[in-house]
């Protein structure tokens, strides 16, 4: 059964998880001295997760591929970036002392995990099955997106446990874009619909193929803007650091 496309979808278990994470962060904040800016970033990331799974965006995701991919972008890219940005350096260093965290945040592992999660959930059979099991597999999909997204952004934003140079971070972000963007391009260029789930129940007068083209084009545009903006910032920071190093050496 598809929900009403404009219905709010409060999932108590998801909202409870958001509240628990917020409470854990609040309890740890005095010890690790999180700034107001970091607190705001972390809170905004949690609010994005709550909105993605409780607002009409979630209900529309059962009717339009474009809305589901927008939900995925929020959960796999935007919200995780803000969550990682909200982690103060002292907390990142403490977490980095854990062997599992240290292994998972190693840049090739972090990027590889994000790519595997992202591409796996977009395999047509897996994608359709998740939507047909909204109380189990779809929740697993959403959780895996958030966790993989946090791994993706960790080496870019945090210096512990792996302190990349600005140049190294720029290369990492560029690699994420180059390796991740083909999915959106593929959806845009496919001559036929990829997902059977959207054969029925669409809204806004969009055809199934038109919805798919919109979804793929939006994904490519979003990743181009986000990843290119971060890459540009890191690249110019790398150039500035190199200039200061040369001046100090001279």
Is 4 inside a domain boundary? no
- Considering only residues 15 and 122, tell me which one the structure prediction assigns the higher pLDDT: 122
pTM: 0.95
Residue 40 falls within a domain, yes or no? yes
pLDDT tens-place string over residues 83-99 = 999 999 999 999 999 99
**Number of domains observed in the structure of the chain:** 1
Does residue 5 form part of some domain?
no
Distance CA 211, CA 207 (A): 6
- Cα separation of 206 and 218, whole Å? 15
Measure Cα distances from 165 to 103, 158, 232, 239 in Å. Answer: 19, 11, 14, 11
Q: Per-residue pLDDT averaged across 192-219, rounded? A: 93
Full domain range(s) for residue 82: 12-249
In whole angstroms, give the CA distance from residue 18 to residue 22. 6
**In-domain check, residue 6:** no
Give the C-alpha separation, 121 to 142, whole Å: 10
Structural domain includes residue 185: yes
98 lies in a domain? Answer: yes
Residue 3 lies in a domain: no
Environment class of 81 (CB within 10 Å of its CB; exposed 0-12, middle 13-18, buried 19+): buried
Is residue 2 in some structural domain? no
């Amino acid at each position: 059964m598809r929900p009403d496309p404009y219905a709010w979808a409060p999932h108590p278990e998801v909202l409870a998880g958001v509240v628990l994470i917020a409470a854990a962060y609040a309890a740890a904040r005095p010890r690790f001295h999180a700034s107001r800016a970091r607190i705001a970033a972390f809170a905004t990331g949690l609010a994005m997760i709550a909105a993605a799974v409780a607002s009409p965006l979630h209900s529309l995701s059962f009717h339009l591929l474009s809305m589901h991919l927008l939900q995925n972008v929020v959960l796999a890219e935007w919200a995780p970036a803000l969550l990682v940005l909200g982690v103060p350096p002292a907390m990142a260093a403490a977490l980095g002392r854990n062997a599992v965290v240290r292994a998972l945040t190693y840049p090739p592992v972090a990027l590889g995990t994000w790519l595997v999660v992202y591409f796996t959930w977009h395999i047509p059979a897996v994608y359709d099955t998740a939507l047909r099991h909204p109380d189990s597999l779809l929740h697993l999909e959403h959780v895996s997106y958030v966790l993989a997204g946090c791994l993706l952004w960790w080496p870019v934003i945090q210096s512990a446990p792996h302190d990349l140079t600005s140049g190294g971070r720029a290369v990492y972000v560029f690699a994420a874009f180059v390796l991740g963007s083909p999915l959106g391009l593929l959806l845009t260029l496919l001559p036929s619909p990829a997902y059977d789930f959207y054969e029925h129940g669409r809204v806004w007068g969009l055809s199934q193929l038109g919805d798919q083209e919109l979804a793929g084009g939006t994904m490519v545009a979003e990743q181009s803007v986000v990843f290119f903006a971060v890459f540009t910032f890191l690249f110019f920071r790398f150039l500035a650091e190199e200039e200061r190093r040369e001046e100090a050496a001279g």
